[in-house]
Each structure stands twice: as C-alpha cells, then as structure tokens.
C-alpha cells in the first residue's frame, strides 16, 4: 500500500500469516464456511496481532532515539508480552505497567502464561491496582525513567494509536491478495475489539482500497456504543495521520457487546465453549480474554442465521494462547477421562 511507504517500519513479524479453513467448526455449525486469518502465527515472542503494530511503533521509537519502551496492559496482557519480545530483539529496555484484575483469579494467573513470559523476556514490571489511571501511571513512570537518564518511548495500551494502527491498514492488502481467487468477498471479517487499533486500521485499509467488507468487532471490555465511538475516533485519526481528505463512514463501524460478560478478563460459559470447540474440532487454540469471546460471538451469529450457510466468514485470530495457562479452571483436572492401560 503506497500510502504507508513514507512511514518507518522494522521487520518483526513472520508475514504473510496463513489464511486457512476451519472445517470442523464450520461443519458443526452447518455453515457458514469459516476461515481463520492466523495472526497468532506472527512468530516473535509467541506471536499475535500486536507485532504488526509494533513494526511501526518500534521503528518510530528508534527514529526518536529511544533506548527504552514503556507500555501498559493487564497482568496477562498479550500486548505487553509482544512489546517485551520486540524490545529484546531490538536491544531496547522494556518497562510495563500491569493493572491488577477486577476479579479473584487462581494463583496461576499471577505466575503463568504471559506474566511468566514477560519476566523471561526481560521486561521490568510495575503493578497498579484495578481501576487505576493508566495514563497517569505511564506518565509518572516516564518522568522517573527520564530522571534516571533513560530515553523512553511510550506505547499506549494495545499499541493502538495512529502509528501502531498502520500495521492493520497494511494487513488489508495482504488479505485481499489471499482471497483474490475467491468467487466473492467474505460476508464479514470478525475479530475481538478492545483497544480498537486493529479494527480501526482494517476499516481504514478497506476504505483506501475501495473494498466493502463488513468488519464486526466483538467487544471484550466495554459497551457497543462506547466501543464504536472509540473505533471511529481512532480511524479518523489514522486517516488524518495519512493525510487523507475525508472521514470514515459511521455506518461501517460495527461492535457487538453480547460477549463481554461481567467485564474484561472475566471468563464466561460461551467463551469456554468456543475455546473447547475450536480446539477439539480444528486444533485451534484461542485465548480466554480476546479470541475466545470473539469466537463465541461468531458462533452466536451463526446460530442466529446472520450468515447464509454458503457464505465465507473470515475470523481474525489475534493470538493470545499463552494466556490459556493462566486459566486452568477452563479444563479442570479430572474433567476429561484419563483411562489406565493394562501392562499385560
């Protein structure tokens, strides 16, 4: 995409990621034909969608002369893990502010999954209570690092700003090339929608390409109206960053909050079912916080006949499988029979 060539970018992700059929779940649902865009397979540090954003963010940090990156997320943040991996690869220090959860998790939540990988990747972690002002916490830590002689570059939660979202503006041309031989465009692209950068970037990319494919975000942390406003605002900031004269059509911004449950990071029955069905029918590992809830949303749409059985739907797998290890209650010990084998 020519519009992006003037922005610095460093190579971090293994691209293009596969686009593959999901026949087991498709057959179980009796249609539509579900295809998965495997952005969990981007490689570095366990992979995930944030690496596409970090290619632009880290290049900008290096251009600004930074020696340290500073970001934030939850204790089991996929974004923090990938930022720590990118920093390690590029020789930068990494500090992360981790917001404690609003629920009472198992001990594994604090020591396993992404939390363990953050430490393994060399990130310096700073904990704040649930509900803290994350922007204020980042600003305070940034001042402290500067006073210590560091040159920090602040990356927002999820890498979701006009710089990071360029990774998903770029994603659109990759997908369009992969579906070039399909008889029609997919009926929809479905994805988890949290910090909004991935969905906003895709919407901008489709607008620039002149392609009309519905993009449906499944909210993981807030109500539809609030999420749609967040997506629209960021999309228009991306367009301004690109020098585009115009704004995103409001009708193209779609977010559904039926899978949020009690809140961000809280397990739900629908999420647990989605995780188990994807794993047992297609060997596809989803995560409890983002892709599990997004896939639950897709399953719900299919059961409500929102798509024709003959249509194709693209599910964007944004990664996060390491977080499964922090939620062992999803598959309790003894819930799956383990039969002994005779030695005779």
Give catalytic residue positions: 77
Query: Is residue 284 within 8 Å of residue 276, measured between CB atoms?
Result: no
Helix (H, G, I), strand (E, B) or coil at 189: strand
Rg over CA atoms, the chain: 20
H-helix or E-strand spanning residue 93: strand 93-99
Helix (H, G, I), strand (E, B) or coil at 254: strand
The crossing angle, in degrees rounded to 10, of helices 269-282 and 291-303 is 90
**d(Cα 127, Cα 67) in Å, to the nearest integer?**
22
Query: Is residue 292 within 8 Å of residue 272, measured between CB atoms?
Result: yes
Nearest to 284 by CA among 264, 305, 266, 299: 299
Secondary structure of the chain: what % helix, strand, coil (to 5)? Answer: 45, 15, 40
């Amino acid at each position: 995409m020519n519009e992006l060539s003037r922005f610095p970018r460093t190579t971090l992700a293994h691209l293009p990621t596969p686009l593959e059929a999901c026949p087991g779940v498709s057959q179980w649902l009796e249609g539509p034909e579900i295809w998965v865009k495997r952005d969990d397979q981007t490689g570095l540090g366990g992979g995930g969608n944030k690496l596409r954003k970090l290619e632009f963010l880290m290049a900008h940090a290096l251009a600004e002369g930074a020696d340290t990156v500073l970001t934030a997320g939850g204790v089991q943040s996929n974004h923090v893990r990938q930022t720590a991996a990118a920093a390690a690869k590029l020789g930068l220090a990494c500090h992360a502010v981790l917001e404690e959860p609003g629920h009472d998790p198992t001990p594994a939540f604090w020591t396993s999954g992404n939390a363990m990988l953050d430490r393994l990747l060399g990130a310096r972690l700073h904990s704040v209570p649930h509900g803290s002002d994350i922007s204020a916490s980042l600003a305070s830590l940034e001042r402290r690092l500067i006073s210590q002689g560091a040159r920090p570059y602040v990356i927002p939660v999820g890498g979701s700003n006009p710089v990071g979202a360029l990774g998903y503006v770029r994603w659109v041309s990759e997908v369009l090339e992969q579906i070039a031989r399909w008889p029609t465009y997919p009926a929809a692209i479905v994805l988890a929608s949290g910090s909004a950068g991935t969905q906003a970037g895709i919407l901008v990319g489709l607008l620039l390409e002149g392609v009309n494919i519905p993009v449906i975000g499944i909210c993981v942390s807030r109500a539809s109206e609030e999420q749609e406003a967040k997506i629209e605002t960021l999309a228009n900031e991306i367009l301004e960053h690109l020098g585009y004269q115009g704004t995103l059509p409001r009708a193209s911004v779609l977010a559904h909050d039926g899978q949020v449950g009690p809140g961000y990071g809280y397990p739900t029955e629908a999420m647990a079912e989605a995780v188990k069905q994807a794993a047992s029918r297609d060997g596809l590992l989803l995560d409890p916080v983002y892709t599990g809830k997004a896939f639950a949303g897709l399953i719900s749409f299919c059961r409500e006949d929102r798509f024709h059985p003959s249509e194709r739907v693209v599910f964007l797998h944004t990664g996060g499988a390491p977080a499964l290890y922090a939620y062992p209650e999803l598959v309790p010990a003894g819930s799956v029979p383990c039969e002994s084998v005779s030695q005779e």
